Amino acid sequence: MLKECSKILRIAQEANAALRTFASSTLDMASIRRLEQKADVEKFRIANMITSGAVAPNVLDNMLLLLGHEDDIVNSIYNLARELCRYGTKDEEEARYIRAQVAEVVQLVDSALETLLGMYEQGDVTKLRFLRQTIERLEETGDDVKESMLDLVYARPATFQSFYHIVQTAHLADNVLDGCEDSADALLTIVSSIIT
């Protein structure tokens, strides 16, 4: 049953791959929206399985929490994509900078999602903790990207729209990696309680 939850991570990988196109061209928002909806359907299906007695009561709440965190990853990718489509800056230097920062976050999310999927294959709590720490380091690198974007926006004059867009983009990008770390925490808790 636990591996059912990993299906949402596969959807997150597809959505993140679609987000990657922002660095080189325009986003396919319809595709990302379909993936977000697909994740919602999977979340509902898996939650029904979990609550219908397919999961032991001692891990039920944590399974639902994990499911919610993984769905949040897809939702955060969708929200980031929407923000990127909302505002087209006229400043080419600013546009290049935002594309570069988003590309870096997409790469970090790729690594975090691969590591999360690897956690599903582990039965050793020590190795699980190591993988969780790997995700934490990726999230901290994402924090550095966010701070860099915020430093830029406060260091130079900007229109309100530009200021708001960069701040929103920084926080929304950070939310994706936060969701990966939250999922890793929940998964570690579940597997630890099953093994020990």
pLDDT in tens, 37-71: 999 999 999 999 888 876 777 788 999 999 999 99
Q: How far is CA 16 from CA 49, 62, 86, in A?
A: 27, 25, 18
Mean pLDDT of 118-126: 89
Give the residue, 75 or 152, on which the prediction is more confident.
75
In angstroms, the CA 173 to CA 19 distance is 11
Which amino acid is located at 132 in the chain?
Answer: R
Please state, rounded to an integer, the average pLDDT across all residues of the chain.
90
In angstroms, the CA 94 to CA 72 distance is 28
**What's the pLDDT score for residue 95?**
82
Half-sphere exposure of 138 (CA within 13 A, CB side): 29
Count Cβ atoms within 10 A of the Cβ of residue 24 and give its class: 0-12 exposed, 13-18 middle, 19 or more buried: exposed
- Number of residues written out for the chain: 196
Half-sphere exposure of 66 (CA within 13 A, CB side): 28
Question: Is the Cβ–Cβ distance between 173 and 105 less than 8 Å?
Answer: yes
Give the residue, 43 or 123, on which the prediction is more confident.
43
The alpha-carbon radius of gyration of the chain (Å, integer) is 18
Sign of CA dihedral 11, 17, 18, 23: positive
